[in-house]
Structure 1
Amino acid sequence: MEVSAVLAAVQAEIHCPVCLDVLTDPVTIPCGHNFCRSCIQQAWKDLLDSFPCPVCRHPQQERHFSPNPQLARMIDLAKLLHSSGERGQQEKALCERHSQAPSLFCEDDLVLMCGRCATDHQGHLVRPVEEAASHHRQRLSRYREVLKKQVADVQNLVTTQDRRLAELREQAGQRRWKLTSEFEHLNQFVEREQEA
């Protein structure tokens, strides 16, 4: 898959469906959809007893969402790849200090640099740009697969909980009917006893 295709696929995953911008402080709600923390808080601000997902409308009983640090890291990496892709499409950017093309990437500081700037990053993990790009593409791909699995797991959990809730409602209805029936029988018995 070409870098542009990978970037396009990742870009589709990292945008908030409410504000349509890149997710900031991403959170995941039980149905598996991701939102900016501030967007989901705003969407649920005036609601009291049911909190539907803005995408699938699946209702929730609580204002529950979980921080998603893996997605936040994936967004950072996507931004990095996107900016390095843009730089590659433009004229080759040169190091401001040494007027050389950047050929290395510092993993600790997340910056591109020329060979001469590498001395400023001693003790850091520094890789050739191509190797770093390949490494981060693989990480993004793994994060994406992990996120897909998490979404599937959450959807399965929601389905299981919905099924269990339906079963509990049915059991409650049966018990209510049984208690009502027993109460009526007891009432009839008491009335017969009083008449006798």
Structure 2
Amino acid sequence: MDIKSLVEMLKEELTCSICLDYFTDPVIAKCSHSFCRECLLQCTWEGDDTFSCPECRQLIQISNLVRSPNLEKFSMAGKIISPHLLQSMMVLATCDQHWEKEKFFCEEDQKFLCESCSITQEHKDHRILPLDRVIAESTEILQATLNILQEKQEQFNIAFRFVREKEVYIREIAYVLEESIRNENKKIHQFLWDEEALYLQILNKESKEYLEEMEEKTKLTQQIQNMQQMILEIEKRLDKNPLEMLQVIMQNIYLLLL
């Protein structure tokens, strides 16, 4: 991969798809896409905690956003390094002072130098590197950064898949538990209904027996009253002649037999 493609790929990895600039305070959603925090929050409706990802349209919750300090550092590094790398790819400029090709790079001053400039007193104690070495080192840094970003992205993808699988598993478990609770509640309700029917049946039977006992009690009470009345009648007629008293007794016996 040439340096131009590498720079373009790096910039793509370090660029927010909303503002199309290098990340500032980047956050990562559950779908593994990254955005500047402020750019992403601009996509929400006022007061809403849930909205769609601008990249894949999956639902995003603000509370689930993860801040990425490493991505912010890489973004800042890419923003600084990329212009120098792109400039190094251009045709070597000519020094205005010595009319020589600028084949060196001063790290302290961050500028390109020709051979004559590199040995002047101005850059005596500076670290001067050949331009091709600077390009090679920068390419290695970019490649290493890109590898780290790709590795981080894969880690987030794995973590996201794990969370998604766990979410599906929890939903399945919740459904099974919900159905189990419903079935158990149905059994409990059926048991209570059966118990209610049984107790009502017992209550009705006992009530009927009680009413029958009360009716029998009423009859006995009436009979007792009749006996008491007969006793009073007999007591009244004790002083009468035997024939009349016998007639009264027979009459009362007849009434008892009714």
Give me the TM-score of the superposition, normalised by structure 1.
Answer: 0.78
Are the structure 2 counterparts of residues 118 and 2 from structure 1 closer, same or farther at C-alpha, using a change threshold of 3 Å?
farther
Deviations 1:9-68, CA, capped at 9 Å, x for gaps: 334434332233x31426241333333343223223646232432112232233514231
Counterpart code for 1:160: F
Deviations 1:59-95, CA, capped at 9 Å, x for gaps: 223351423112331232122212333xx33x61526
Counterpart code for 2:56: C
1:177 shift after superposition: 1.0
Give the corresponding residue for 1:170: 172
Are the structure 2 counterparts of residues 24 and 151 from structure 1 closer, same or farther at C-alpha, using a change threshold of 3 Å?
closer
Q: How far, CA to CA, are the matches of 1:110 and 1:34 in structure 2?
A: 31
Give the corresponding residue for 1:191: 193
1:117 shift after superposition: 6.0
Is the CA contact 2:32–2:160 (under 8 Å) kept in the aligned structure 1? no
Unaligned residue ranges in structure 2 (runs of 5+): 200-258
Are the structure 2 counterparts of residues 107 and 57 from structure 1 closer, same or farther at C-alpha, using a change threshold of 3 Å?
farther
SS at match of 1:44: coil
Do structure 1's residue 115 and structure 2's residue 115 form an aligned pair?
Answer: no
Matches within 5 A, 1:123-162: 125-162=127-164
Is the CA contact 1:16–1:23 (under 8 Å) kept in the aligned structure 2? yes
Give the corresponding residue for 1:75: 79
Is the CA contact 1:106–1:121 (under 8 Å) kept in the aligned structure 2? no
SS at match of 2:59: coil
Q: Which moved more, 1:136-145 or 1:56-65?
A: 56-65
Give the corresponding residue for 1:13: 13
Matches within 5 A, 1:25-104: 25=24, 27-30=26-29, 31-44=31-44, 46=46, 48-63=48-63, 64-67=65-68, 68=71, 69-85=73-89, 88-89=90-91, 92-94=93-95, 101-104=101-104
Q: How far, CA to CA, are the matches of 2:129 and 2:107 in structure 1?
A: 8
1:100 shift after superposition: 5.5
Q: How far, CA to CA, are the matches of 2:75 and 2:145 in structure 1?
A: 7
Instruction: Tell me the number of residue pairs that the alignment of Structure 1 and Structure 2 aligns.
Output: 190
Is the CA contact 2:32–2:153 (under 8 Å) kept in the aligned structure 1? yes
Unaligned residue ranges in structure 1 (runs of 5+): none
Q: How far, CA to CA, are the matches of 1:177 and 1:102 in structure 2?
A: 77
Give the corresponding residue for 1:180: 182
Are the structure 2 counterparts of residues 11 and 70 from structure 1 closer, same or farther at C-alpha, using a change threshold of 3 Å?
closer
Say which structure is richer in helix. 2
CA RMSD across the alignment: 2.9
- Structure with the greater alpha carbon radius of gyration: 2
Q: How far, CA to CA, are the matches of 1:75 and 1:186 in structure 2?
A: 68
Q: How far, CA to CA, are the matches of 1:2 and 1:65 in structure 2?
A: 33
Q: How far, CA to CA, are the matches of 2:24 and 2:154 in structure 1?
A: 22
